[in-house]
């Protein structure tokens, strides 16, 4: 019997990939009702993975455009955020408009203006100026007062009446320090981003509070905090400072910083983790395949972004959503970049 096809698409292939019946695939491709939204999305995702072009009748009419403003895509955690947000929006019938803030490119204000001119239904901000304590936040107040629904991910601006969704930065530092102390480390450094950013401030504050009793003072703990850039080069620079300060372990504000720290340690002839332990932050895609596989604090990307998108769509539909900040608990992922404190030289 000939294979059942629809516009050149083999139904059996899609059904096998999506783990549904051929009849269900046919209903989705013909745009017929009676298929759950999640099942419909599973079938369409299976088509994408198999390289089939979706028939025109299977493409749902967009319920509207949603702006997504994120930092540059060099850091792999930001494409991960964008992917989850786009997928969640697609399942609800919306289309995302991705805007990135690369150095020398459009400013956040220019991106906001471009999106509002296109008539977007709402905007998601990820790690934007709302996380910068030195930036003016009246841009968001004006946007909200104009009737544009907004949500914010990673960062908090207390004067803005909107929903904020963040990883618990302070809790992340606590997890990392507990892990390293269990391994016997006592002189531990912290590498985070510039002082003006909310996540860096929260990490540094918790680090000082937890380390000061053992070190004797807040000042002694402060001396083991290196503020740098969220990049490989920034981690390299911070590790140079902390290794010179006698640290045997280091907690980083991003996975890229952790890779830079490992590079600096190796330049000094040190082995990671035998001589120097490193903990990252984010659990970026592929970070478990580095050499060594990176111990890191996993951001709850899926939970945060899904909650943010659902809240935004509730706003768009007219629901009066609660404002304020929602914190998501991170998770320690132990891999190969941390080990017991090296024995002191005889």
> Residue 293 corresponds to which tokens in the numbers above?
């596989």
In the prediction, which pLDDT does 60 show?
52
Q: Identify the pLDDT of residue 209.
A: 97
Sheet with strand 277-282: strands edge to edge: 225-227, 188-192, 249-252, 277-282, 295-298, 331-333
CB atoms closer than 10 angstroms to residue 234: 24
Average pLDDT over residues 231-243: 97
275-303 tens-digit pLDDT:
999 999 999 988 989 999 999 999 999 99
CATH class of 5-58: mainly alpha
The CATH H-level superfamily of 65-168+300-329 is Response regulator (3.40.50.2300)
Boundaries of every domain in the chain: 5-58, 65-168+300-329, 169-299
90-118 average pLDDT score? 89
pLDDT at 1 over 80: no
Q: Are 179 and 295 in contact (CB under 8 A)?
A: yes
CATH topology identical between 65-168+300-329 and 169-299? yes
**pLDDT tens-digit profile of 319-344?**
999 999 999 999 999 999 999 998 77
Q: For the chain, report the end-to-end CA distance as a whole number of angstroms.
A: 80
CATH architecture of the domain with range 169-299:
3-Layer(aba) Sandwich (3.40)
Write phi, then psi, for 311 (nearest 5 degrees): -65, -45
Give me the mean pLDDT over the 30-49 stretch: 78
Please tell me the predicted confidence (pLDDT) of residue 15.
Answer: 87
Please give the DSSP secondary-structure letter assigned to residue 129. Answer: G
**Global confidence as pTM:** 0.82
CA-to-CA dists, residue 263 to 157, 237, 267, angstroms: 35, 10, 6
């Amino acid at each position: 019997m000939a294979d059942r096809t629809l516009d050149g698409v083999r139904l059996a292939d899609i059904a096998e990939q999506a783990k549904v019946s051929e009849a269900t695939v046919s209903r989705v491709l013909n745009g017929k009702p009676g298929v759950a939204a999640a099942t419909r999305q599973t079938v369409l995702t299976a088509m994408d993975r198999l390289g089939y072009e979706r028939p025109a009748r299977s493409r749902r009419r967009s319920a509207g455009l949603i702006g997504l403003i994120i930092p540059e895509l060099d850091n792999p955690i930001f494409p991960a955020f964008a992917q989850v947000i786009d997928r969640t929006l697609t399942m609800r019938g919306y289309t995302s408009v991705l805007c990135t803030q690369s150095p020398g490119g459009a400013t956040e204000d220019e991106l906001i203006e471009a999106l509002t001119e296109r008539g977007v239904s709402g905007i998601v901000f990820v790690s934007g100026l709302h996380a910068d304590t030195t930036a003016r936040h009246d841009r968001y107040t004006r946007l909200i007062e104009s009737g544009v629904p907004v949500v914010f991910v990673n960062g908090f601006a207390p004067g803005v009446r909107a929903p904020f969704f963040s990883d618990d930065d302070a809790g992340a530092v606590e997890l990392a320090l507990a892990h390293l102390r269990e391994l016997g480390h006592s002189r531990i450094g912290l590498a985070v981003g510039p002082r003006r950013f909310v996540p860096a401030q929260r990490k540094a504050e918790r680090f000082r509070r937890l380390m000061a009793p053992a070190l004797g003072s807040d000042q002694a703990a402060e001396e083991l905090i290196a503020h740098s850039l969220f990049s490989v080069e920034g981690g390299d620079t911070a590790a140079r400072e902390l290794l010179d300060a006698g640290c045997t372990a280091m907690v980083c504000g991003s996975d890229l910083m952790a890779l830079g720290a490992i590079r600096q340690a190796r330049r000094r002839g040190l082995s990671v983790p035998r001589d120097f332990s490193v903990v990252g932050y984010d659990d970026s895609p592929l970070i478990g395949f580095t050499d060594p596989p990176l111990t890191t604090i996993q951001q709850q990307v899926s939970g945060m972004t899904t909650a943010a998108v659902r809240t935004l769509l509730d706003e768009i539909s007219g629901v009066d959503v609660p404002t304020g900040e929602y914190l998501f608990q991170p998770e320690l992922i132990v891999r190969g970049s941390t080990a017991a404190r090296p024995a002191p030289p005889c």
